Chain A
Amino acid sequence: MRHIFQVRIGPAGFRVGSDWRAPIAELERLYAGYPAPENGVPDFTVRLFAARPWRRWLRPAVTLGGDFVLPDAAPLPLSQGLLAAEMAMNLQMALGQRRYLLLHASAVEREGRAVLMTGLSGAGKSTLAALLGARGWRLMGDEFALIDPATGMVHAFPRLVSLKNAAIGVVGDAVPQARFGPLLAGTPKGDIRHLVPDPQAVARMDEPAQPALLLFPRFGFAIAQRDLGPSEIFVRLTQASTNYVALGERGFDAMTRVVRDVPARAIDYPNAEAAIQQVEALWNAL
């Protein structure tokens, strides 16, 4: 491919090739503080390409390629090339990662112990992780928490934090000094803006943490908390894992260990401040 970008995010090395310079330039700018893949060998390859040669210039449309693809993924306009790259990188992790049990969860760490927050899109995973990251927690990731089946430890995957719609303003107001990507308006997921994890999150991304609290946040409801039984946690976490089945017995061991060892709570919240207070209170009560 004409333009190449390589990066390591946590344990995963990526090589992104593109027919266009612009998405690569954005990636270089936003991932400026990140290392290259171990020994220069990426784990996953992503390609951003024009489905037809003239589509490089004429209404340029970015088609996603890579080791793993979704056959019916629609191309994105070149102005959303950064989003295309991020989506394709996530897809490689979701479908190709075999070393860790992947949970669709955000994670923050304090004193070697981690809070994992999982839920459907819109639950506030990314927003809460970004806000906690600005309040003394180490951001470990906003999309995937990687559980090592051998140790039960959670490993960081601090990619760019994907903020959507109202979360863009909430986080922008809370951490105005942070670095952000361009506002990508009108994407298939609404408005998106990427937050660059702070330097500490990148510098310490190879430090795993002990999962200590598992939260199922839900945005848009009055403040409430609920305990979950182990079987409900098991079902919700297997639904939140993209590679549980692929990992076979290692996945079963890792999953039952999380369910057995990590206290869990469902929290409803009407606004970010209420959620932060609930997280801090539950953490202090551990």
Chain B
Amino acid sequence: MAERLYRAAAADALRIVPLDDFTVIFHRPSGLTHLVTAPAPEILALLSEDVLTRNALLACLGAQFDLGDASAEALDARLGELVATGLVETA
């Protein structure tokens, strides 16, 4: 079975304002405001440039950041949250 692909919601659907450790995101389609922290902004930034599989996303994050003991399962959980809020879509 083909791996699932992820992409960020369309750029014009999101207003992203970094505050400090937290970033506040307004999601235009739902009118909801989300207060997120790492790695959500980093995931959104990568998925706004490319449509990626979970493994490719994990590799990109690993190349840019020291992920410590981050696992594919943990990334699945974060992606699941972002998909549920509409900030990330499955392609």
Chain A contact residues, CB within 8 Å of chain B: 229-231, 234-235, 238, 244-245, 248-249, 252, 256, 259-260
Q: Nearest B residue to A248 by beta-carbon distance? A: B31
Tell me if B83 counts as interface (CB < 8 A to partner A): no
A243 CB to closest chain B CB (Å) equals 13
Q: Which residues of B contact A244 (CB under 8 A)?
A: 33
Checking A238, A245, A260 against B31 with a beta-carbon cut-off of 8 angstroms, the contacting residue is: A245
Contact of B33 among A230, A238, A259 (CB under 8 A): A238
Q: Which of B15, B21, B22 contacts A252 (CB 8 A)?
A: B15
User: Can you report 24 residue pairs joining A to B where beta carbons are below 8 Å apart?
Assistant: A229-B20, A229-B21, A230-B19, A230-B20, A230-B22, A231-B19, A231-B20, A231-B22, A234-B19, A234-B22, A234-B24, A234-B35, A235-B35, A244-B33, A245-B31, A248-B31, A249-B15, A252-B15, A252-B24, A252-B26, A252-B33, A256-B24, A259-B19, A260-B17
Most chain A CB neighbours (cut-off 10 Å) among B15, B22, B33, B35: B33
Q: Which residues of A contact B22 (CB under 8 A)?
A: 230-231, 234
A64 vs B18: C-alpha distance when bound (angstroms) = 43
User: How far apart sit A256 and B44, CA to CA, in the bound complex (Å)?
Assistant: 20
Interface 0/1 of B8-36, CB less than 8 Å to A: 00000001010111101010100101010
A256 touches B17 (CB 8 A): yes
A245 proximity list for chain B (CB < 8 A): 31
- Residues on A with C-beta less than 8 A from B28 are 249
Residues of B within 8 A of A (CB): 15, 17, 19-22, 24, 26, 28, 31, 33, 35
Closest to B32 in A: A245
How many whole Å from B81's CB to the nearest CB in chain A? 18
Taking the closest CB of chain B, its distance from the CB of A261, in whole angstroms, is 13
List residues of chain A with CB within 8 A of the CB of B17: 256, 260
**Which chain B residue has the least Cβ–Cβ distance from A245?**
B31
What residues of B have a CB within 8 angstroms of the CB of A252 in the complex?
15, 24, 26, 33
A residues less than 8 Å from B21 (CB atoms): 229, 231
Contact A231 B31 (CB under 8 A): no
Question: Do the beta carbons of B26 and A249 come within 8 Å of each other?
Answer: yes
For A238, the closest partner residue in chain B by CB is: B33
- Whether the pair B15, A231 counts as a contact (CB closer than 8 A) is no
Q: Closest Cβ of chain A: how far from B84's Cβ, in Å?
A: 19
B15, B19, B35 pick with most chain A CB within 10 angstroms: B19
- Known contacts A231-B35, A248-B31; 11 additional CB pairs below 8 A are A229-B19, A230-B19, A231-B21, A231-B22, A231-B24, A234-B24, A244-B33, A245-B31, A249-B31, A252-B26, A259-B19
Question: Which residues on A sit within 8 Å (CB–CB) of B20?
Answer: 229-231
Beta-carbon nearest neighbor of B26 in chain A: A252
Question: B67 to chain A: closest CB distance in Å?
Answer: 23
Kindly provide the distance from the CB of B18 to the nearest chain A CB, expressed in whole angstroms: 9
In the bound complex, how far is the Cα of B24 from the Cα of A229, in angstroms?
A: 13
Closest CB-CB distance, A264 to chain B, in whole Å? Answer: 12
- Which of chain B's residues have a CB closer than 8 A to the CB of A234? 19, 22, 24, 35
CA distance A231 to B23 in the complex (A): 8
**How far is B26's CA from A244's CA once the two chains are assembled, in angstroms?**
12
Closest-CB distance, A94 to chain B (whole angstroms): 19
Docked Cα-Cα span, A229 to B21, in Å, equals: 9
What are the residues of chain A within 8 A of B19 when measuring CB–CB?
229-231, 234, 259
B-side contacts of A229, CB under 8 Å:
19-21
**Residue of B at shortest CB range from A230?**
B19
